[in-house]
Amino acid sequence: MSSQGSSLRITQNQRLALTESLLRALELLQLPAAELEEAIQAELQANPLLEREDEGTEASISPEETSASPAPQSTPFDDPVGVTPIEREPSALDWASTTRSIDDDAPEAYETVAAAESLGEFLENELSLQTALSNLQRTLIAWLIGNLSEEGLFEESLEEIAAACPVKASHAEWGKALECLQQIAPAGIGARNKTEMLTLQLERLQPQDEAASAAKRMLVECPELLLKRDFRAIARRLACESALCERAFALIGTLDPHPAARFASPEKEGFVIPEVIVTRTASGALSVALNPACTPRLRFNQEYFELLNSSRLPAESLALWREKAHSARGFAHAVEQRAATLLTVARAIAKEQKEFFRQGDGALRPMTLKDIADILKISVSTVSRITSGKYMQTPRGTFELKHFFSSSLPAAADGQSVSSLAARERIRALVHAEDPEHPLSDGAIAEALSTEGISLARRTVAKYRELEGIAPKSERKRLG
């Protein structure tokens, strides 16, 4: 007969949690220049131990001349592999290696930036009002908010987003977090594609009558017939009356295809502030540097803290100042890491797309966020955050960092792939050089591209032509 009893066992395991400092680093990583400045000003006002310095030195990195440095040990969002950390003194958290001195008389870069709420800020405010959520649910929802595009969509699958999160949760928990986000967000935000964006809006409509139900089925089951407005074919497929299909179509027409458009974005402000400046050196090499007007220089007031630490303050007050000291160091390091990550990613982009700086969009290579992530050994979500809303000033103009990423078209006969942006550039050039009396049709443009090794269907040519704002052949002939 076996005996039963209790025992005590000690096990050791490792877990990575999203601490306050990691959440702060994530938040600062995705902020554009104007919002970063606002966050820094708020922190300077709230924490007397954090100061802003006035002097610095210039730093530039030449991707064509500088060899890759060994990857440091890292922790997520702190010192990611492939991002070279910036050396600093313990009491002088500045960017001596990435900034140059700023003229005190220079105009303030953010004086005319209108204060507007972004989609992320709105959702974070809404999340703070949800008192019934657990800490885990709040963390998962905050992570999902950080992965939304400017259109309010997810560019990655829920599984990929969950895999990149350092807080592990079950698939059911992620599903509940997504459902909660879609409930607190404006109708359509948090969808995984345009179809789901519209169906989420339909689910918010009241009453949920047969027209709303038919509209959802039309979007999911027969989108190709919906584009043709073939209500008889739709009625046969859905086994309903044509009149109901027409009512459902009218209902779809009342939905908002861009529910995130009312929120602030850098493109709506009328101007942008480039955080990265690319120039050419005397030898012709590319020099990539951070814009000093957008690169804050912070300092932890060690002398003041030591004075407070040695004074006879009550234990409660001393603990509060130590907490502020920890917060000041953490905030400065998070801002510093953002600058280091931005510079490293910009350097990698400039190195991979160096032909663009010589020849323009036509020389852009196919490149995805994952390509840069693999080169730097950081996560795709980190690259997405640091390139969103950040701009690069180049000899060819100012571009958002995401401008340099494009999909790859089918390889040509010589085996070399072409980016979609390069194909659009060639379409623009062909139309510009055409005879106004005999403009090129989409089919003729496709044939001309084929002779250059760019294989595009006529439908794809029409899509790219519309994206470039080029009128169809019939209208161009009238205009000519």
**pLDDT on residue 392:** 92
The 3-state secondary structure of 430-468 reads: HHHHCECCECCCHHHHHHHHHHCCCCCCHHHHHHHHHHC
Query: Does residue 299 register a pLDDT over 70?
Result: yes
Residue 210, CA distances (Å) to 81, 216, 235, 336 in order: 54, 10, 13, 56
- Amino acid identity of residue 193, one-letter, is N
CB 404 within 8 A of CB 288: no
Tens-digit pLDDT profile for residues 334-389: 888 899 999 999 999 999 988 888 887 777 888 888 899 999 998 888 898 899 88
Nearby residues of 31 by Cβ (< 8 Å), 6 or more positions away: 39, 338, 389
Average pLDDT of every residue of the chain? 77
**pLDDT on residue 391:** 92
Lowest mean pLDDT among 50-59, 383-392, 450-459: 50-59
Using alpha carbons, select from 180, 167, 174, 177 the residue that is nearest to residue 22.
Answer: 167
Confidence of residue 466 (pLDDT cuts 50, 70, 90): confident
The number of residues making up the chain comes to 480
**pLDDT on residue 68:** 41
Give residue 60's Cα distance to chain centre.
24
314 against 422, higher pLDDT: 314
**pLDDT on residue 328:** 87
Tens-digit pLDDT profile for residues 138-149: 999 989 988 888
Q: What is the mean pLDDT of residues 55-68?
A: 41
Give residue 250's Cα distance to chain centre.
34
DSSP at 292 = G
**pLDDT on residue 57:** 36
pTM of the model: 0.49
Euclidean distance between the first and final Cα of the chain, in Å? 100
**pLDDT on residue 423:** 79
Residue labelled with tokens 């009128």: 471
DSSP 225-272: HHHHT-HHHHHHHHTS-HHHHHHHHHHHHTS-S-TTTTSB-GGGGSS-
**pLDDT on residue 91:** 37
Give residue 319's Cα distance to chain centre.
38
Q: What is the mean pLDDT of residues 203-213?
A: 85
**pLDDT on residue 410:** 57
Dihedral over Cα of 100, 105, 108, 112: its sign: negative
Query: Does residue 109 register a pLDDT over 60?
Result: no
**pLDDT on residue 81:** 47
Confidence of residue 5 (pLDDT cuts 50, 70, 90): low
Q: What is the mean pLDDT of residues 299-315?
A: 83
Confidence of residue 3 (pLDDT cuts 50, 70, 90): low
CB 365 within 8 A of CB 403: no
Query: Does residue 78 register a pLDDT over 60?
Result: no
Q: What is the mean pLDDT of residues 318-344?
A: 88
Report the SS3 class of residue 37: helix
**pLDDT on residue 96:** 37
Q: What is the mean pLDDT of residues 183-208?
A: 87
